[in-house]
Structure 1
Amino acid sequence: MTSLILASQSPRRRQLLEQVGLTFTVKPSSTEEIFDKNMNPEDLVQKLAREKAADVFQQFPEAVVLGSDTVVAADGEVLGKPKDDADAKNMLRMLSGRTHQVHTGAVILSKGRETSFAETVNVTFYPLTETEIDTYIQSREPEDKAGSYGIQGLGAVFVKRIEGDYFSVVGLPVAGVVRALKEHGLG
């Protein structure tokens, strides 16, 4: 039987796949994420997801490999994971009281087949105070999150509204992935 490999170390992606009852192994990709500022965010997340999946697929060519990546975009600027607390603070200030986009790409590779897609979700934040931002940064939650927040954690209190797939904001368009996995003989 063909096995599924998640090419990501994200605990959120792992939890989402477990939530829908999929059996898989985790083999994080060793590729370095390089953001091409000239690419539109939907193409960028698919490119990054493809690079992760391809890296792992080379090692396990008989498996079905899932790669995924998420970025936040505001005013045309792509926001990845913050470099440090100051970067996180700047991102959260930028998102405060405004609508931004969360783009999550997924790529599934199997022998002779590739499926690639991206989901875009509009997320609107309440206006944030400096104290709210500082307290959130002190929680350490922003450290490994695109756009410096996690909707599934403490960052949930910032979110006034979302338009689109909640799970894509968490880090994986799980319904689309499950449907695509069927095309690769899984599920």
Structure 2
Amino acid sequence: MEANAPHFKLILGSSSTARRKILADMGYHFTTMSADIDEKAIRKEKPEDLVMALAEAKVVVYEGVVREKPSSEAEARQFMKDYANGHAATVSSVLVTNLVTGSRRGEWDKVEVPLLISSQYSISRQIYFHDIPDQVIDKLIEEGIVLYAAGGLIIEHPLILPYVKEVVGSTDSVMGLPKALTERLIKEVL
């Protein structure tokens, strides 16, 4: 991307490793700054409104209930066990602000994530999991990273990858930064 390097400075307002990787994979050079806010203090009834309010967040909705970052190891364990038996969706948002002009664009993106033991294909943007063994869940909790992920859901983690049966749709959206949406919003604010 050096020959076509953008003529603007890009700041990622998130400390998420996954979001940094996605943006770097898109060819952008950027710095990161994340707000030190209490995400739990910001409440909205609809997940789509919540992620826009947080402006850097991803939430997981399981059986109609918003699941943010697990509050404990026990909650993380329960989240991961549940996913083999139910239906979840990730809801992400992207908010792009041009700090020179003040132009601002944002949207949310939702990915349906039915987590089932199944060999069937389904509609787009879905993920199928094999049952995740207790010893894998134990290792993930011991490592601690699931405590910092919405719904304890980290499909890109090497310990989880063997149990992902099928991803149909946008993995980058599940990871919290949908590439196509991000690219479009950047162009809109320039």
TM bucket by the smaller chain? 0.7 to 0.9
Task: State the match for 1:175 in structure 2.
Answer: 180
User: Quick one: which amino acid aligns to residue 49 of structure 2?
Assistant: D
Task: State the match for 2:111 in structure 1.
Answer: 121
Is 1:90 aligned with 2:95?
Answer: no
Identify unmatched segments of 5+ residues in structure 1. Answer: 50-67
* TM-score normalised by length of structure 1: 0.79
Alignment counterpart, residue 75 of structure 1, candidates 63, 66, 71: 63
Alignment counterpart, residue 144 of structure 1, candidates 142, 148, 153: 148
Is 1:184 aligned with 2:172?
Answer: no
3-state secondary structure, aligned to 1:172:
coil
Kept after mapping to 2: 8 A contact 1:98/1:126: no
User: Quick one: which amino acid aligns to residue 180 of structure 1?
Assistant: L
User: Quick one: which amino acid aligns to residue 168 of structure 1?
Assistant: S
Summarize deviations over 1:53-75 as a string: whole Å, max 9, x none: xxxxxxxxxxxxxxx21111111
3-state secondary structure, aligned to 1:86:
helix
Structure number with higher helix proportion: 1
**Root-mean-square deviation (Å):** 2.0
Kept after mapping to 2: 8 A contact 1:122/1:164: no
Deviates more, 1:163-172 or 1:100-109: 163-172
3-state secondary structure, aligned to 1:34:
helix
Question: Identity of paired residues, percent?
Answer: 30
Distance (whole Å) between structure 1 residues aligned to residue 41 and residue 86 of structure 2: 24
Change (3 A) 1:43 1:80: same
Q: Tell me the matched-pair count.
A: 167
Is 1:158 aligned with 2:160?
Answer: no
User: Quick one: which amino acid aligns to residue 33 of structure 1?
Assistant: E
Kept after mapping to 2: 8 A contact 1:142/1:149: yes
Give the CA deviation at 1:117.
Answer: 0.8
3-state secondary structure, aligned to 1:12:
helix
Deviates more, 1:96-105 or 1:152-161: 152-161
Task: State the match for 2:125 in structure 1.
Answer: none
User: Quick one: which amino acid aligns to residue 32 of structure 2?
Assistant: V
Is 1:99 aligned with 2:87?
Answer: yes
Give the CA deviation at 1:136.
Answer: 3.3
Alignment counterpart, residue 134 of structure 1, candidates 114, 133, 138: 138
User: Quick one: which amino acid aligns to residue 134 of structure 1?
Assistant: D
Alignment counterpart, residue 12 of structure 1, candidates 18, 28, 31: 18
Give the CA deviation at 1:88.
Answer: 0.4
Task: State the match for 1:52 in structure 2.
Answer: none
Give the CA deviation at 1:107.
Answer: 0.8
Change (3 A) 1:12 1:128: closer
